[in-house]
Structure 1
Amino acid sequence: MTAANHNHYILAFDQASEADFPKMGGKCASLARMIAAGVAVPAGFAVLTDAYAEFLDISGVKSALGAIIDSIEIGNVADEALKAAAIREKICSTPLPSYIEAAIRSAYLDMSPSNDLPVAVRSSATAEDLPDASFAGQQDTYLWVTSADDVVRQVRACWASLFNARAISYRAKNNLGQLEVLMSVAVQKMVNAKAAGVAMTLDPINGDRTKIVIDAAFGLGEPVVSGEITPDNFVVEKVMMQVTKRRIAEKDHELVADRALRRTVDRVIEPERRTQPSLTDGEVIEVARLAKSLERKMGCPQDVEWAIDADLPDGENLVALQSRPETVWSQKKAQAPAKTYAMGIEGVLGTLMSPLSAKN
């Protein structure tokens, strides 16, 4: 993306510096940080938190939301849902200030002069992906958005998704404030994923940092991230980079791009492909290398979203979509392993990984 200036509401990922990260939210800052580190990431830009904050103030939405928020009975699920819906309706029905809308349109048209490039519009809140308070996945993502009009509409929908009932309850329980959390939005070139998923640089079951655990499925990764499908599961030994376990699930549907319909569709997978692995062993190792590299660059265990882009050539088609700190085992002191004498490769690996264990 070019370095075109869309005033202080828009910032291309590849133009961001660390000083910009507080206004980019967790997701956008992560994308910018990965690009700066040389990781392959689809191009795009952030609609900065200044745009959201100014929308609330200039349009008078903030006072209206404050009144509704003050009336919420936290812990009453029905009341939380009712008030959350009212807040979202207020945000979605209020026009953007013309200059903010113009900045968003101009940034998208820089990416797509023909006004038809498919992009993902992704929420990026300022309090998400924190090591001690992560609510990644609570806000909305919109896929295969293909015009400036729709980009503007979905940016506002992302802002509104700050106020779903789950997010309101989470912020209340963690004393994060309701109007204090701001929202940036990522607008990013869509990936035509033939396979996608998540990779964790430790075992989420027991915190073992000698392993990389990969969940994968055909098509886009949203059904994997959301838990809608049972993915294939691969375990890779982190030092020797060998696949040590694989569990291939029966996958009966996939979320894919339909170019004719210009949207994503949930497609039934033909029977003969359902039990095939979504990744070759070579692709599993490439995903593991990406995750391991991100752990090293970011300085802590990572939860990585990735995709293999069918539109890119082999060897250049693995892209990172997000990398966030792992938030469960990273907060625990690793239990000391039992003092047994391991034989063969297990003993070698224990010796090689002992510095990591000591740091925990």
Structure 2
Amino acid sequence: MEYILPLKDCHSHFTELVGGKAMGLGSLLRQELPVPSGFAVSTHAYREFVEVTGLDRAIQMNLRGADTIDEQRRVSERIRGLFEESKLQDSLLAELTEAYMQLSPHGMQPVAVRSSSVSEDAAEASFAGEHDTYLWIEGPDAVAKNVLRCWSSLFTPQALSYFKQFGIRANETAMGVVVQTMVAAEAAGVMITIDPMTGDRSQISIEGSCGLGLAVVGGEVTPDRYFVDKVTLDIRSRMISPKSVAYRFDSQAGEVRRIDVPEEEQMKPCLTEEEVVAIAALGKQVERSLGTAQDIEWALGPWIDGKRDIFLLQTRPETVWRNKQAAPLASSQTSIMDRLVGNMSMPMRIV
């Protein structure tokens, strides 16, 4: 195919072609780790699209003089509207439809459509979280629509601010897109293979909540937190927080919805001890393979025969401590839990 690559073929030397997210997923698949199947829409497809439609010139014109926050917001809205009013070129739409149908041999497979910018995981400035993800998309037409929406998220107000701050020109970057089969997550969250507060490399830090990962990534809940010894995989400490909202797919409405969690369920841990250790073990394996601390998104599928399968949805290099000297470890009188409790404002149950 000219525009699309299977995720397993997204090697590190293809980062400029598929973006950081697709490259990270490709590395996980080649380790035979549990990653939902999918494919990448290349940056070549993006560059050809903006050239053929004339959007490249329209983007450059709109960006002139967009120096203030208010102007960046207005320009972002105009540029994103241009993308979302457009249609994919026929050759790309045909490839996209074929690739999607290969994921859906028995019907309309729900997928996640996720941005994969060539700039989002740069060491100097992490763009992680600045671009869009769309969940539970069904059908090739809907996938095509959300590819355009992901492309348009290259020009959010936050991204335009980054471009200005780091001297990046619009024609110097591009957006790839990842399309993956959807995980009907019972729990989801993030894992960093160091202590994100101190840079302690002997620790794996896991955060999670019920349902899809939107509530955690979006900061809508205080997640459960687990701190695991990287060497022994013993759980050093954990903090269970009230999780008042969750995102789940509503089959009747045909969309992902934010729901209120019943009060009696809010303090239930989102993970079992066995699941915490299993997630940490995967994080340790990924870090060892890629050679640096990782920031990983994970999800647990539905309960089947008394267990839930773990899926890795994304990995990228940890950027905060990557080029810093780690702080000295706390004294034996101060636990990781003690340090973190001082930064928490929400009530929680400490186990």
2:41–2:177 Cα contact (<8 Å) kept: yes
How far the C-alpha of 1:33 sits from its partner, in A, is 1.0
Equivalent residue in structure 1 for 2:315, among 323, 326, 330 = 323
Question: Aligned with 1:120: secondary structure?
Answer: strand
1:92 and 2:84 correspond: yes
How far the C-alpha of 1:269 sits from its partner, in A, is 1.2
How far the C-alpha of 1:336 sits from its partner, in A, is 5.1
1:115–1:146 Cα contact (<8 Å) kept: no
1:302–1:324 Cα contact (<8 Å) kept: yes
Relative to structure 1, is the Cα distance of residues 337 and 122 closer, same or farther in structure 2, using a 3 angstrom cutoff? closer
Partner of 1:357: none
1:23 and 2:32 correspond: no
Relative to structure 1, is the Cα distance of residues 271 and 47 closer, same or farther in structure 2, using a 3 angstrom cutoff? same
Relative to structure 1, is the Cα distance of residues 64 and 115 closer, same or farther in structure 2, using a 3 angstrom cutoff? farther
Q: TM-score, structure 1 length as denominator?
A: 0.88
Q: Matched residues in 2 for 1:28 and 1:16: separation?
A: 6
Question: Aligned with 1:155: secondary structure?
Answer: helix
Partner of 1:149: 141
Equivalent residue in structure 1 for 2:131, among 136, 139, 161 = 139
Partner of 1:51: 45
1:274 and 2:266 correspond: yes
1:213 and 2:205 correspond: yes
Relative to structure 1, is the Cα distance of residues 316 and 268 closer, same or farther in structure 2, using a 3 angstrom cutoff? closer
Q: Which moved more, 1:16-25 or 1:195-204?
A: 16-25
How far the C-alpha of 1:178 sits from its partner, in A, is 1.9
Q: Matched residues in 2 for 1:220 and 1:151: separation?
A: 19
Superposition pairs for residues 5-84 of structure 1, below 5 Å? 7-72=1-66, 74=67, 76-84=68-76
Q: TM-score, structure 2 length as denominator?
A: 0.90
Equivalent residue in structure 1 for 2:195, among 174, 198, 203 = 203
Question: Aligned with 1:168: secondary structure?
Answer: helix
Q: Matched residues in 2 for 1:301 and 1:15: separation?
A: 23
Relative to structure 1, is the Cα distance of residues 312 and 12 closer, same or farther in structure 2, using a 3 angstrom cutoff? farther
Q: Which runs of 5+ in 1 are unaligned?
A: 1-6, 344-360
Per-residue Cα deviation, 1:52-111 (whole angstroms, up to 9, x for no partner): 000011111111111111131x2x211110111111111111222111112111211121
Task: Look up the equivalent residue of 1:107 and give its one-letter code.
Answer: A
1:203–1:212 Cα contact (<8 Å) kept: yes
Per-residue Cα deviation, 1:267-309 (whole angstroms, up to 9, x for no partner): 2112221111000111111111111111111100111100111
1:244 and 2:236 correspond: yes
Partner of 2:348: none
Q: How many residues align?
A: 334
1:163 and 2:161 correspond: no
Q: Matched residues in 1 for 2:328 and 2:128: separation?
A: 30
Task: Look up the equivalent residue of 2:122 and give its one-letter code.
Answer: L
Partner of 2:251: 259
1:115–1:148 Cα contact (<8 Å) kept: no
Partner of 1:297: 289
2:194–2:205 Cα contact (<8 Å) kept: yes
RMSD, matched Cα: 1.9
Task: Look up the equivalent residue of 1:134 and give its one-letter code.
Answer: S
Task: Look up the equivalent residue of 1:193 and give its one-letter code.
Answer: A
Identical-residue share of aligned pairs (%):
37
Task: Look up the equivalent residue of 1:306 and give its one-letter code.
Answer: W
How far the C-alpha of 1:208 sits from its partner, in A, is 0.8
Task: Look up the equivalent residue of 1:210 and give its one-letter code.
Answer: S
2:41–2:176 Cα contact (<8 Å) kept: yes
